[in-house]
Amino acid sequence: MSSSRKALAIVLAAGEGTRMKSDTPKVLHQVAGRSMLAHVLAAVAEAGVETIAVVVGPGREDVTAEALKRAPHAQTFVQAERLGTAHAVLAARAAIAAGCDDLLVLFADTPLVTGATIRALREALAAGAGVAALGFSAADPFGYGRLLQDEAGRLVAIREEKDASAAERAIRLCNAGLMAIDGAAAADWLGQIGNSNAKGEFYLTDIVEIARACGREARVVVADETEVLGVNDRIQLAQAEAVAQNRLRRAAMAAGVTMIAPETVFLSADTVLGRDVTIEPHVVIGPGVSIADKAVIHAFSHLEGASVGQGATIGPFARLRPGAALAEAAKVGNFVEIKNANVAKGAKVNHLTYIGDADIGANANIGAGTITCNYDGFFKYRTEIGENAFIGSNSALVAPVKIGAGAYVGSGSVVTKDVRGDALVVARGRQMEKAGWAASFRAIQAERKAAAKKS
Ligand code: UD1
Ligand code: CA
């Protein structure tokens, strides 16, 4: 496709989403850890579209904010009244008036569409079509607009379910909703769309017949049904999630990640995975995670907003929360939680530990049951542990506190003051022993009890 063609994408996000039964607008519901709107905007960017307009419903500042977060150069338009898909497109008439070669219309509730498919629609325009509609063969076509074709396979019209004859309803080839329109003619054709149909709405789909009446060809570009799944309720949201997860797992494995049971691993759209990473069963990776080459994530671990260095190992049953940054060859074992903390190269945090707001130096060893006491109910404080330090099991490090490099902390210590490098600190009750004390204690108490029974 000639890269000289200028494209404008209009993303329709003004739907009410009533069937989601949610306080959150439909297009902000998430698939693979990011909003459906963000997915569509990512696909648009992937297709090389430089100008983006998002049409939102009135009072939907949250949708506008998400659009601008994901596509900072996007223009946003408000569709004051919901009078149909053509009416929604025309809410962005100022963007259309600025001129483009390819006008693309996408629905923000169709999150699985790919950049490649958007490119295929653009190619149809580059090859001379006036309109290209994305079609799919529906297992159950009910509710979709049907694509009516002539004997040569050219698109003749799109008929909505409610306006279709019985013969038209039998057609399985359906309108996915995505459309590419010749930018030079778009404003004229959109202006001709009326609302004399069963729903009394301005249907974007009428543009096919209008373009043909102007002597232009309309084409169908066929996509797989899983790619054009529209999300109207939570059941379809879960179906979209399943498709998205399968794609992410396959892409990860294709890029050199081993997954023993991929169907049990959950990734996010932004997950970054290196080569020869191994992810064991039942791992959940939330947004903002990157895992470097050769790292191993053992079973039942949960990661979010964390980075894992090369060759590091995590879990089983570990939790990395936002701001956990593990360097190369770090080791985080079972029942360990790490939050907002740097764990330097080769450091080990192997068992039953909470590390929050901390810096752990290279090759430090954090014993079982260590807790960084980072919060006083009002503020958070940092713990600094130098390289090669050894923290004995069941120690509480009361922040703010620094443990110098190479220092030893005796097991069971509650450390409230800084510890110098290479020092030993023991902050617990001193052990004392009285020889024979227990035997004489037992003898005395037994005698008292016997005396008490007699009286
Ligand atoms: C639409 C298509 C239908 C297609 C189906 C695919 C039309 C007339 N029909 O039907 O051919 O098979 O999608 O899912 O285009 N929207 C607005 N403002 C409006 C109306 C709609 O922003 O005034 C947005 C919605 O938020 C949604 C999209 O446009 O993202 C589609 O609208 P919807 O009412 O769901 O159309 P369908 O009846 O599903
Ligand atoms: Ca719909």
Banded pLDDT at 16 (limits 50, 70, 90): confident
Q: What is the CATH number of the domain that holds 322?
A: 2.160.10.10
What value does the mean pLDDT of the chain take? 97
Neighbouring-strand partners of residue 57:
none
Does 160 belong to an annotated binding site? yes
Are 217 and 238 part of one and the same domain? no
Are 155 and 246 part of one and the same domain? no
Phi, psi of 434 (to 5 degrees): -115, 115
What pLDDT digit, counting tens, does each position of 398-448 carry? Answer: 999 999 999 999 999 999 999 999 999 999 999 999 999 999 999 999 999
Please indicate, yes or no, if residue 453 is contained in any of the structural domains.
Answer: no
Does 149 belong to an annotated binding site? no
Ligand 1 binding pocket includes 369 (Cβ within 6 Å): no
Atom of ligand 1 nearest to the CA of 83: 23
Q: Are 393 and 376 in contact (CB under 8 A)?
A: no
What pLDDT digit, counting tens, does each position of 36-57 carry? Answer: 999 999 999 999 999 999 999 9
Are 269 and 414 part of one and the same domain? yes
- Residue closest to 102 by CA, chosen among 155, 66, 48, 161: 48
Total domains, the chain? 2
Percent with pLDDT over 70 in the chain: 99
Give residues with Cβ within 8 angstroms of 299, minimum separation 6: 280, 281, 282, 283, 315, 316, 317
pLDDT at 308: 99
Mean pLDDT of 160-187: 97
Please indicate, yes or no, if residue 271 is contained in any of the structural domains.
Answer: yes
Phi, psi of 150 (to 5 degrees): -90, -175
Ligand 1 binding pocket includes 136 (Cβ within 6 Å): no
Atom of ligand 1 nearest to the CA of 55: 22
Mean pLDDT of 294-312: 98
Q: Ligand 1 centroid vs 295 CA: distance in angstroms?
A: 45
Mean pLDDT of 230-247: 97
Atom of ligand 1 nearest to the CA of 12: 22
Mean pLDDT of 66-73: 98
The pTM of the full predicted model, rounded to 2 decimals, is 0.93
Does 354 belong to an annotated binding site? yes
Please indicate, yes or no, if residue 51 is contained in any of the structural domains.
Answer: yes
Q: What is the CATH number of the domain that holds 202?
A: 3.90.550.10
pLDDT at 384 over 90: yes
Please indicate, yes or no, if residue 300 is contained in any of the structural domains.
Answer: yes
Mean pLDDT of 70-88: 97
Are 370 and 253 part of one and the same domain? yes
Percent with pLDDT over 90 in the chain: 98
Phi, psi of 86 (to 5 degrees): -70, -40
Helix (H, G, I), strand (E, B) or coil at 1: coil
Q: What's the rounded Cα separation, in Å, for the pair 405 and 393? A: 18
Domain boundary among 176, 197, 222: 222
Q: Are 5 and 102 in contact (CB under 8 A)?
A: yes
Does 334 belong to an annotated binding site? no
Are 113 and 256 part of one and the same domain? no
Domain boundary among 222, 249, 271: 222
Q: What ligand has the least distance to the C-alpha of 17?
A: 1
Q: Ligand 2 centroid vs 455 CA: distance in angstroms?
A: 89
Please indicate, yes or no, if residue 442 is contained in any of the structural domains.
Answer: no
pLDDT at 455: 81
Are 167 and 277 part of one and the same domain? no
Q: Ligand 2 centroid vs 17 CA: distance in angstroms?
A: 9
**What amino acid positions are annotated as catalytic residues?**
351
- Residue closest to 96 by CA, chosen among 10, 16, 32: 10
Are 205 and 257 part of one and the same domain? no
Ligand 1 binding pocket includes 55 (Cβ within 6 Å): yes
- Whole domain around residue 240: which residue ranges? 234-425
Atom of ligand 1 nearest to the CA of 144: 12
Q: Ligand 2 centroid vs 81 CA: distance in angstroms?
A: 17
pLDDT at 3: 62
Ligand 1 binding pocket includes 193 (Cβ within 6 Å): no
Please indicate, yes or no, if residue 227 is contained in any of the structural domains.
Answer: no
Ligand 1 binding pocket includes 230 (Cβ within 6 Å): yes
Q: What ligand has the least distance to the C-alpha of 107?
A: 1
Are 199 and 248 part of one and the same domain? no
Are 169 and 292 part of one and the same domain? no
pLDDT at 1 over 80: no
Does 196 belong to an annotated binding site? no
Are 216 and 252 part of one and the same domain? no
Q: What ligand has the least distance to the C-alpha of 27?
A: 1
Are 11 and 155 part of one and the same domain? yes
pLDDT at 83 over 80: yes
Please indicate, yes or no, if residue 148 is contained in any of the structural domains.
Answer: yes
Most ligand 1 atoms within 8 A of CB, residue of 89, 107, 110 to mutate: 107
Please indicate, yes or no, if residue 449 is contained in any of the structural domains.
Answer: no
Q: For residue 317, count CB atoms less than 10 angstroms from its CB and return exposed for 0-12, middle for 13-18, buried for 19 or more.
A: middle
pLDDT at 256 over 80: yes
Are 301 and 401 part of one and the same domain? yes
Question: Amino acid letter at 280?
Answer: E
Q: What's the rounded Cα separation, in Å, for the pair 131 and 243? A: 28
